[in-house]
Chain A
Amino acid sequence: MARSTTLLRNTWTLGLKEFRSLGGDVAMMVLIVFMFTASIYADARARPETLQRASIAVVDEDASQLSTRIVAALHPPQFIDPELISLADIDKGLDAGRHTFVLDIPPNFQRDVLAGRSPALQLNVDATRQSQAQTGAGYIQNIVGEEIRDFVQRGRPAATPQVELVTRAMFNPNLSASWFTAIASIINNITMLGILLTGAALIREREHGTLEHLLVMPVTPLEIMLSKVWSMGVVVLVASAFSLQVVVKGLLGVSIAGSAVLFGLCSLLYLFAAASIGIFMGTVARSMPQFGLMSILVLLPLQILSGSMTPRESMPEIIQGLMSLAPTTHFVALAQSILFRGAGLDIVWPQLLMMIAIGAAFFMLALHRLRSTIGQMQS
């Protein structure tokens, strides 16, 4: 029908206009390039590989061969070379946040060990450093325990326990964190740009009066919305594909398990949802300053609570329920499945379906809001 070809043509024409507008904003272009290159690289490279460079101090009250061996065993990459401090400085160092761990080796420790008196070491942990406290304490216990065992057995082979526990990490054998961070970083940027570009573009049109002008022309709100969704979607998709291929695979050397094409398709559908949210926010906010604040209030939970930072299953159920309404949550889940675990469409379809449903709901809501705000537009 003629109507549908008009729809396609207008959507195409208006979308091309969006490209030209964006191309003219040099600062924005620089930001987009920065977000998908340097920012992702810095983020992935900065994050430690699980426990890394934890700061530790040792109070060596024993100054024996054994205590020296223990101090020497705590070394990079897991730990920054331990600082030797005095008993009186324990609190100060922990208080200032200089040390996350302080190990106290009591006097006569070696003698007591050799005498079989099973003396106790004290490990102080700054528990406000949640991410390191538990893992770090575990590492220190293992390392110290091994050193003591070696020392006691004086090089004799250790008796193997009767039941051995063999753990293997699937999909990421070395538990390299930069994999995870790089992908999370890309997802965050996709979300941010998808929402910001479309929402702000809509408000800009309203503030400059061009939206009203479009509406005296043979253009419908649906076409206006679709044009913004597809054009900004393409910008973000191209940027993220480049980032995935060049920065993540190339520079960071992360091996992608699954199909990049499938991931691209999912990203496109996710962008549709994110852009719809952006347009919805653009119809709710009355001005750019309001939109700015609103976007922070939306982006922050999407970034932190969608499962790309901490596991969702550990969050309170009410938050889990709330966040399952966000398309980001499903996108994070399927991105991890595809990129890390090599999952195919047969596995990720439920998340994909959820994402489409949520995106469609936001799109309809935004379209409805756009139509009604245009009806009320005055002066």
Chain B
Amino acid sequence: MTHPVQTPPPAMPAPAIVARLSGLQHRYGAVAAADGVDLEIPAGCMVGFIGPDGVGKSTWLGLIAGARRIQQGRVEVLGGDMADRHHRHAVCPRIAYMPQGLGKNLYPTLSVFENIDFFGRLFGQSRAERAQRIDTLLAATGMSAFAERPANKLSGGMKQKLGLCCALIHDPDLLILDEPTTGVDPLSRRQFWELIARIRAERPGMSVLVATAYMEEAEQYDWLVAVDSGRVLATGSPAELRARTGTTTLEAAFLALLPESRRQGHHALDIPALTSGEVVIEARGLQMRFGDFVAVDDVSLQVRRGEIFGFLGSNGCGKSTTMKMLTGLLPPTRGEARLLGEVLDARNIDTRRRVGYMSQAFSLYGELPVRANLELHARLFDLSAADGAARIDELARRFDLLPVMDTKPDALPLGLRQRLQLAVAVLHRPDVLILDEPTSGVDPVARDAFWQLIIDLSRDEGVTIFITTHFMNEAQRCDRISLMHAGRILASDTPDALVAACGCSSLEDAFIHHLEAAGGGRQPPHQPTYQATHQAAHQPTPGPSATGVQPAATTRAPAFSLGRLLSFSAREAVELRRDPIRLTLAMLGSIVLMIVMGYGINMDIERLSYALLDRDQTQASQSYALRIAGSRYFAEQPPLASHGELDARMQAGTLTMAVEIPPGFGRDLARGTPTRISVWVDGSMPMRAELARAYVGGLHAQTLAEAATAATGNAPASAASIEVRYRYNPELRSLVSMVPLMIPLMLVFIPSMLTALGVVREKELGSILNVYTTPVTRLEFLLGKQLPYIGLSLLNFVLMFGLALTLFQVPFKGSLPTLLLGATLYVTATTGLGLLVSTMTSSQVAAIAGTAIGTLLPAIQFSGLMDPVSSLEGAGALIGAVYPTSHFFTISSGTFSKALGFADLGGSLLPLLLAIPVLNLASAALLQKQAR
């Protein structure tokens, strides 16, 4: 032994059974994913789950991993009940779970190193320990050279290896892999299993559970569970299963195990000979460049009518890019693609009708039921209603989609989603089918059914088929195949000719032979094969040690860990740094807005438009009119001629006020007869109307007083006078009072929008699984996500504060530490508000809308920006009283204009302080720690 093997803690005796399912029931609507399952899974070996798509394999694995909530029945893993939260928390450091889908739980903008490092931190490993572990893991997987590459720039095979590294960083006792090699090319797949074998050799106690669609892989496992319709069909070693069914291959054994109804129509495929037709697809010297990177170089090929043309190559070799050029989705940088002799033009709608395309990633509407997706495509492709319905019915039957017609694809397993995509691609009976890994993740029976369809289309209807696959038995069925590597075609011929040409025994060997000759084997050529390592599994072999580090000292995860919290913060900060546009929007955006709004919101209501209806036209009336015209509050418009015009212009909204001086005004004034001046104000904007009325009233009184003074020579004595002192802002400058309010406004909208997508985005993209299966608690996750945004918002605050002092020249009179404390509490609350919205919503769109409503309305209307909170009524008053913005308004304007300090503002700081735990605990309560 080159390293000590971890001994299980005494509290949990080493079980011979790693997991036990009893009476397990799990349903999604009408579909049973587990229908009374009783199963004991032996420890310390490699266990395979085989079965058709959508029978419950993934659900079982998710339940065992603790990622899914148990509906009914009992799941015991590593000696405890997985329904028990404490047990889950205690054993999750000993379990590693790799979900279905390429790189599903990885963080796309983080590099390979950062991804693994993040998981290491979650399990409380020190920096030195992590560095050493990552080093050995990367060396073992042959990824050392790619440590700095972002995960989204990795090929599918490398993503899966990275996923495995992330799963293995904490030396799990139970490794759960859900279809780990689906969509991975044969070479990478071989390397992947070699890696697993080496790791098992070093950690013989580790149990590995794998769900797979590859029967040839399952052939190598120790123990198998055959699954169908949520039930166990059979268990045993591959040899036992073969013996029991009297078959020679596992694939045949599995078919024999299936009930009669499930294998209906399955028979060996028969491919009639191809009668050669005209050239349908032609590529001449295709090249595609993305910047400096040449994805596809000098690809030329010809495909004839009715031919099935296969495209093989490692992940990321340029197959998909070539296919996109052949569909017209991507215009080539150089060279040309022709369809039926015509150069492809992406804008040509008729071309699109003749081509059926299925992309590698699922690209249909996950939120629409299966039937709706099919109907949408039938309509868009112009199928008549009757024809469309018949066609949908036919395809649903053919692809076995009938039971899921009303289910949304989001809730379906990979295999069924792929079938739906296929059905959509062939729906409109295209002349040419371009299929990018159509059978990836589809079970063997359905794959054969699909190939039967392909063969029928090709041979009976003369449809030309261009297909990529990682299954060698499928490649064998093609009329011709091209081997592609690093953007170039290595060889192109019939499968048999290719095998013969390199003197190999199988197509897989021929493929790997070509790749390695082209330098595609990233690992040294003399790696032990999976078979060899597998047999040696129980005799530890020296060699690169993937896990040659002392196991973590503590096996029990602490209930709260600052380290885990900070690992989320660090990750979020890196992701933020990688998105400069978002950073710029957050910083620059708030400053631009502050300037625009600081100047724009103007409470100094002035320049109100008015017009005069002077029906007197004397000197007296003109001098009265001059008083109004001279006021800065009013801006005179062309005079009115009649009441009709007055009504019209008021209605058009071009006048805020109209003043009518009656006929005989000058005469009456001179005689001392009472007279009246009429004023109309536009009431559609009440605040403006109110002010206009007050202004004109003031002017009127002043004019009269002056006239009296002028007449009598002395001012009329008034009983008393009122001296009005405008405090804090004596000139009533809008800026001085507005800028301190702009800062709180910016600090509610932007921080909450920054965090608003934090949780919901992880839900939509899948990485939320890491919260389910690692020891991180809900609060650690939420607070960890929040921290970087609090930091960013404070930086934003400092910038805006500086701007207020310099550009706006707003004097700061109060206590800076108090304002800073207030700002810190405030942005903690507002970022917490964003997270709360994020945990409540299920789509990113709803999160954005929810945050916009949840901030704009209360902050602008109920927090005292326009009207003081004390003057509000009803729900608004209630919201205003508790909403953080109203309190920070008080703190901000108090410290800016009123020279206030900590003692004066305690009453506003306290509610902010209270808001933080309320918001965060509400988010934590709403966040699920398991999938349903």
Q: A25-B843, A343-B651, A378-B290 are in contact. Are A45 and B725 (CB under 8 A)?
A: no
A311 in contact with B605 given A132-B868, A289-B757 (CB within 8 Å): yes
B740 to chain A, nearest CB (A): 8
A-B contact pairs, 10 of them (CB 8 A): A27-B841, A47-B861, A96-B900, A128-B728, A164-B676, A174-B683, A213-B364, A289-B754, A300-B856, A319-B596
* Residue in B653, B682, B730, B856 with the greatest tally of chain A CB atoms within 10 Å: B653
Residues of A contacting B696 in the complex (Cβ-Cβ under 8 angstroms) = 165, 167
B685 proximal to A (CB < 8 A):
yes
**B196 located at the interface, meaning its Cβ lies under 8 Å from any Cβ of chain A in the complex:** no
Q: Is the CB of B693 within 8 A of A167?
A: yes
Most buried by A among B321, B376, B890: B376
With both beta carbons as reference points, the residue of chain A lying nearest to B896 in the complex is identified as A128
Q: Do A170 and B680 contact each other (CB < 8 Å), given the known contacts A21-B367, A24-B408, A95-B898?
A: yes
- Stretch from B33-41, B159-167, B299-307, B354-362 contacting the other chain: B354-362
Q: Smallest CB–CB gap between B734 and chain A, Å?
A: 6
State the 3 A-B residue pairs at the shortest beta-carbon distance, nearest first: A46-B876, A172-B683, A130-B603
A55 B690 Cβ-Cβ under 8 A: no
How many angstroms between the C-alpha atoms of A181 and B727 in the bound complex? Answer: 29
Determine the chain A residues whose CB is within 8 A of the CB of B690 once the complex forms: 50-51, 135, 175
Give the most central of A128, A166, A215: most B CB within 10 Å. Answer: A128
* Segment touching B, from A138-146, A239-247, A260-268, A269-277: A138-146
On whether the beta carbons of A293 and B727 are closer than 8 Å, the reply is: no
- Contact among A152, A172, A174, A300 for B719, CB-based, below 8 A: A152
Which listed residue (A138, A170, A181, A208) contacts B650, Cβ 8 A?
A170
Cβ of A120 and Cβ of B870 under 8 Å apart?
A: no
Find out whether the CB atom of B691 lies under 8 angstroms from the CB atom of A135.
yes
| Complex Cα gap A264–B719 (Å) | 56
Interface-side segment among B535-543, B546-554, B559-567, B667-675:
B667-675
**Interchain CB contact under 8 A, B607 and A313:** yes
Q: Is A88 an interface residue (CB 8 A)?
A: no
Contact A171-B682, Cβ < 8 Å, known A20-B372, A310-B602: yes
Question: What 0/1 readout, one digit per residue, does chain A (355-379) give for beta carbons within 8 Å of chain B?
Answer: 0000000000000000000010111
B732 nearest CB neighbor, chain A only: A127
Given the known interface contacts A132-B867, A295-B848, A316-B602, the answer about A95 and B377 at a Cβ–Cβ threshold of 8 Å is no
Question: Would you list which residues of chain A between 198 and 223 have a CB under 8 Å from chain B?
Answer: 200-201, 204, 208-210, 212-213, 215-220
- Complex Cα distance A378/B318, Å? 12
Residues of A within 8 A of B328 (CB): 216
* CB <8 Å contact, A163 and B676: yes
Of residues 635 to 654 in B, which have CB atoms within 8 Å of A's CB atoms? 635, 648, 650-653
Q: How far is the CA of A369 from the CA of B868 in the complex (A)?
A: 44
Q: Contact between B605 and A379 (Cβ–Cβ < 8 Å)?
A: no
Kindly report which residue of chain A lies nearest to residue B754, judged by CB atoms.
A293
Contacts of B679 in A (CB 8 A): 165-168
Kindly name the residue among A35, A121, A181, A300 whose own CB sees the greatest number of chain B CB atoms within 10 A. A300
Name the residue on A nearest B841 (C-beta): A27
Residue of A38, A127, A217, A318 touching B726 (CB-CB under 8 A): A127
Residue of B nearest to A47 (CB): B867
Chain A nearest CB from B379 CB (Å) reads 4
Assess whether A237 is interfacial by the CB under 8 Å rule.
Answer: no
Q: Is the CB of A43 within 8 A of B850?
A: no
Q: A123-B724, A336-B653, A378-B290 are in contact. Are A134 and B732 (CB under 8 A)?
A: yes
B721 with A193: CB separation less than 8 A:
no
Docked-complex contact A209 and B362, CB < 8 angstroms: yes
Give complex CA distance A195, B349 in Å: 30
CB distance from A191 to the nearest CB of B (A): 10
- Does any Cβ of B come within 8 Å of A234's Cβ? no
Q: What chain A residues lie within 8 Å of B408 (beta carbons)?
A: 24
Chain B: CB-nearest residue to A21: B367
A11 to chain B, nearest CB (A): 11
Q: How many residues of B are in contact with the other chain, CB < 8 A?
A: 158
Which of the residues B605, B653, B672, B843 comes within 8 Å of A28, measured between beta carbons? B843
Known: A21-B368, A118-B720. A173 touches B726 (CB 8 A): no
Which residues on A sit within 8 Å (CB–CB) of B898? 94-95, 128
In the docked arrangement, what's the CA distance between A197 and B682, Å?
Answer: 35
Q: Which of A141, A218, A309 contacts B601 (CB 8 A)?
A: A309
In the complex, how many angstroms separate the beta carbon of B828 from the nearest chain A beta carbon? 19
Is A375 a contact partner of B331 (Cβ separation < 8 A)?
A: yes
CA distance A95 to B460 in the complex (A): 88
A116 on the B face (CB < 8 A): yes
Told that A133-B726, A289-B579, A323-B600 touch, could you supply 16 new A-B pairs with CB distance under 8 A?
A39-B853, A46-B879, A47-B872, A125-B726, A126-B728, A130-B604, A135-B691, A163-B676, A175-B690, A181-B861, A215-B346, A218-B350, A288-B848, A292-B847, A303-B860, A314-B604
| Residue pair B904, A96 in contact (C-beta under 8 Å) | yes
Q: Which of A34, A137, A175 contacts B689 (CB 8 A)?
A: A175
- A180-B686 CB under 8 A given contacts A217-B377, A375-B331: yes
Task: Indicate if B504 sits at the interface (CB-CB under 8 A).
Answer: no
> Whole-angstrom distance between the alpha carbons of A162 and B703 in the complex?
12
The CA of A140 and the CA of B868, in the complex, are separated in Å by 17
- Chain A residue nearest to B871 (CB atoms) is A53
Chain A neighbourhood of B753, CB < 8 A: 292-293, 295-296
**Measured between C-beta atoms, what is the minimum distance from A204 to chain B in Å?**
6
Q: Quick check: is B150 within 8 A (CB to CB) of the other chain?
A: no
Given A97-B890, A134-B694, A172-B686, do A46 and B380 touch, yes or no (CB 8 Å)?
no
What residues of chain A lie closer than 8 Å to B350, measured between beta carbons?
A: 218
Tell me how far the C-beta of B908 lies from the nearest C-beta in chain A, rounded to whole angstroms: 8
Which one of B130-138, B174-182, B580-588 contacts A?
B580-588
Q: How far is the CB of A346 from chain B (nearest CB, A)?
A: 9
CA distance A322 to B600 in the complex (A): 10
Which of B329, B349, B355, B377 is within 8 Å of A212, CB to CB?
A: B329
Distance of A223 Cα from B700 Cα, bound (Å): 61
A96 and B907 in contact (CB under 8 A), knowing A166-B679, A313-B635?
yes
Collect the chain A residues with CB atoms within 8 Å of residue B382's CB. 6, 218
> Does B875 sit at the interface, judged by CB under 8 A?
yes
- The answer to whether A95 and B681 touch (CB under 8 A), given A27-B842, A343-B653, is no
Q: How far is the CB of B353 from chain A (nearest CB, A)?
A: 5
Q: List which B781-795 residues lie within 8 A (CB) of chain A.
A: none
The residues of B that contact A315 with a CB separation of less than 8 Å are 599-600, 602
Let me know if A95 and B721 touch, CB within 8 A: no
Q: Which residue of B lies closest to A308 (CB)?
A: B685
Q: Which chain A residues border B761 with CB–CB below 8 Å?
A: 288-289
Cβ-neighbour of A210 out of B353, B363, B669, B856 (below 8 A): B363
Q: Which of B685, B689, B846 has the most CB of A within 10 A?
A: B685
Cα-based distance from A178 to B632 in the complex (angstroms): 29
**How many angstroms between the C-alpha atoms of A4 and B841 in the bound complex?**
39
Assess the B842–A25 pair: CB atoms within 8 A.
Answer: yes
Kindly state whether residue A259 has any CB partner on chain B within 8 Å: no
In this assembly, does B343 line the interface, its C-beta being within 8 Å of a C-beta of chain A?
no
Residue from the set A112, A174, A292 with the largest chain B CB neighbour count within 10 Å:
A292
Q: Is residue B330 within 8 Å, beta carbon to beta carbon, of the partner chain? A: yes
**Which of these, A116, A121, A163, contacts B717 with CB under 8 Å?**
A116
Restricting to A326-354, which residues have a CB under 8 Å from any CB of B?
333, 336-337, 340-343, 347
- For residue A96, which residue of chain B has the nearest CB? B904
- The reply on A131 being an interface residue by CB < 8 A is yes
For A1, list chain B residues within 8 Å (CB): none
Q: Specify which chain B residues have a CB less than 8 angstroms from the CB of A144 in the assembled complex.
A: 720, 722
CA–CA, A319 to B601, complex, Å? 10
Given contacts A130-B603, A167-B679, contact A27 B876 (CB under 8 A): no
- Decide yes or no whether A192 CB sits under 8 A from chain B: yes
Task: Looking at the assembled complex, report how far the CB atom of A37 sits from the nearest CB atom of chain B, in whole angstroms.
Answer: 12
Q: Does chain A have a CB within 8 A of B874? A: yes
Asked whether A341 lies within 8 Å of B606 as measured between CB atoms, the reply is no
A314 touches B606 (CB 8 A): yes
Taking the complex as formed, is B252 at the interface, i.e. its CB lies under 8 A from any CB of chain A?
no
Identify which of B680, B725, B846, B852 contacts A296 (C-beta below 8 A): B852
